[in-house]
Every structure is written in structure tokens, then in C-alpha cells.
């Protein structure tokens, strides 16, 4: 009990004094996750719009594949990325294993299906609202997609935030492909896991504060976006 209390006190002081390790790990976490989020959005958002607007041959197949990928356990994603990037794997020559790049790749694979799926759902709704009007106005396919992406931007932001939340809190996959190397691939979740197993609750708790704060910020923003949408303040 005393240990725990000491841990909390130290954690608070680590946070308030902006401890170097704490800051380094937090920034790395943000960098990895924001990179993954950026790449994912580039893929997921246009894909979601295309799936909503166009009726093409492999549409159903893509949707079921995305749903299947969404259910994939992150640890398994980590394992697969590990095999692909390991020295004997097909992409071994790139030397990406145990770098932050590998972690970005794993996170992209984990969150792209999630973002696509959430974005697709709201864009499909928007499309059913707009369909007759945009058809009547002779819009091109590209104009339709652009209109949906722009007018659905709040919903797309919400989808992206869900992806961010999933990625920042994920531990299994990035532990495997990143290796949790100090000053190289150690991020919030992997550091917490390590510090806890070492019994060093101070740093673990301080890192936990940061993670919780990020999660709360995501929740708050999501909530706020929903409110502005419903109340028509934009």
C-alpha cells in the first residue's frame, strides 16, 4: 500500500517536472500513432466514400474483408508484420523490424479497417440523404465523392479519432514488431507494461496519466464534434 502511495506521489512529480524519459516516450507514441493515423486516413477515407457512392464488382468483397480484418487480434497482426519484416521474410531487406516504421505499419493495418468501416457507415447515410439531389444535378463521380468527404467531415473526424484511440492504446502488435527498445521504439503502452513488470510504478503511473489524458481528449473531442453537428454550429 505504501509502495503504491509512493508511486503515485512520484508519478505526479514526474509529470509536473516534465521528466525527460516521460516526455520522450510520450512524444514518440504520438509521432508513431499520428503517422499511422495519417497513412490510414489517406487510405480509409477515400475508400469509404467510394464504397458509399459507387456500385462496383468487388464492393461487397471489400466490405466483408474489412469487417474480417477489423476482428483480427492485434497480436496476430504483430506476428504477421513480424514475419513479413524479419530478415528471412519477403521485406526483410528493408531492415524495418524493430524500428518505429514497423510499428507504424502494424498500427496502419490495425486501424485502417476500423476507420474505413466507421466512415463508410456515416457516408452511406449521408449519401442516401444526398443521392437524389446529386444525381439530379449531374454531378460527376468525383464531385460526389468530394462532396461527401467535405460535408461528412465531422463524422470522418470522429472515425479518425476512434482510430487514434485504438492505435495509441494498443500494445501487443507494437511490442512484437517494435521490440520496446529504450530510446528507439519504446512508447507509452510498451513502457507501462515493462515498468509494471519491473515493479516501478512511478513511471508506469505517470505514463498512464498521459495515456488517460489522451484518451479523455479523444472522447471529449468526439463528443464535442457530435454536438456541433446536431446543433448545427459550424
Partner 1 sequence: MFPMTACDLSVKVRQKHIIGPINLTINEGGITVLMGPNGAGKTTLIKALHGIIRLANGQVTFATPAKTAQEQQSFVFQSPIMLRRSVLENLAYPLMINGQDKQSAMERARTWATKIGLSAHMDRPAPFLSGGEKQKIALARALITSPKLLFLDEPTASLDGAATVEIEALLSEAQSTGTTIIMSTHNIGQARRMANRVLFMKDGQIDAHSAANAFFDTPPTEAAQKFIAGDIVV
Residues that bind partner 1 (CB under 8 A): 126, 129-130, 132-133, 135-139, 143, 147, 151-152, 232, 234
For partner 1, the closer of residues 199 and 232 by Cβ is: 232
For residue 127, the minimal CB distance to partner 1 (Å) is 12
Smallest gap from Cβ 144 to partner 1, in A, equals 10
CA of residue 212 relative to chain centroid, distance: 15
Between CA 148 and CA 134 the distance in angstroms is: 10
**How many Cβ atoms sit within 10 Å of the Cβ of residue 153?**
14
Q: Which is nearer to partner 1, 86 or 139 (CB)?
A: 139
CB-wise, 141 or 198, nearer to partner 1? 141
Nearer CB in complex with partner 1: 55/183: 55
Minimum Å gap between C-beta 119 and partner 1 is 15
Question: Buried (b) or exposed (e) across 38-69, using 16+ Cβ within 10 A?
Answer: ebbbeebbebbbbbbbeeeeeeeebeeebeeb
Q: Residue 56 or 234: which CB sits closer to partner 1?
A: 234
Q: How far is the CB of 6 from partner 1 (least distance, A)?
A: 53
Sign, Cα dihedral of 200, 201, 203, 207: positive
For 191, list phi and psi in degrees, rounded to 5: -65, -45
Least distance in angstroms from the C-beta of 40 to partner 1: 24
Amino acid at each position: 500500500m505504501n509502495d503504491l502511495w509512493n508511486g503515485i506521489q512520484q508519478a505526479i512529480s514526474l509529470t509536473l517536472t516534465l521528466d525527460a524519459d516521460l516526455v520522450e516516450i510520450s512524444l514518440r507514441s504520438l509521432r508513431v500513432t499520428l503517422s499511422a493515423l495519417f497513412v490510414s486516413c489517406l487510405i480509409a477515407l477515400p475508400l469509404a466514400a467510394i464504397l458509399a457512392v459507387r456500385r462496383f464488382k468487388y464492393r461487397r468483397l471489400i466490405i466483408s474483408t474489412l469487417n474480417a480484418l477489423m476482428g483480427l487480434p492485434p497480436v496476430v497482426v504483430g506476428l504477421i508484420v513480424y514475419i513479413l519484416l524479419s530478415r528471412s521474410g519477403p521485406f526483410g531487406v528493408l531492415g524495418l523490424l524493430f524500428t518505429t516504421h514497423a510499428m507504424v505499419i502494424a498500427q496502419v493495418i490495425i486501424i485502417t479497417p476500423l476507420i474505413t468501416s466507421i466512415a463508410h457507415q456515416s457516408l452511406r447515410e449521408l449519401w442516401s440523404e444526398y443521392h437524389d439531389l446529386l444525381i439530379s444535378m449531374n454531378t460527376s463521380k468525383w464531385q460526389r465523392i468530394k462532396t461527401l468527404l467535405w460535408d461528412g467531415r465531422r463524422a470522418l473526424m470522429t472515425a479518425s479519432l476512434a482510430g487514434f484511440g485504438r492505435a495509441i492504446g494498443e500494445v501487443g502488435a507494437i511490442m512484437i514488431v517494435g521490440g520496446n527498445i529504450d530510446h528507439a521504439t519504446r512508447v507509452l503502452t510498451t513502457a507501462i507494461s515493462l515498468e509494471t513488470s519491473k515493479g516501478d510504478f512511478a513511471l508506469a503511473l505517470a505514463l498512464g496519466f498521459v495515456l488517460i489524458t489522451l484518451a479523455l481528449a479523444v472522447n471529449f473531442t468526439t463528443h464535442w464534434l457530435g454536438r456541433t453537428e446536431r446543433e448545427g454550429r459550424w
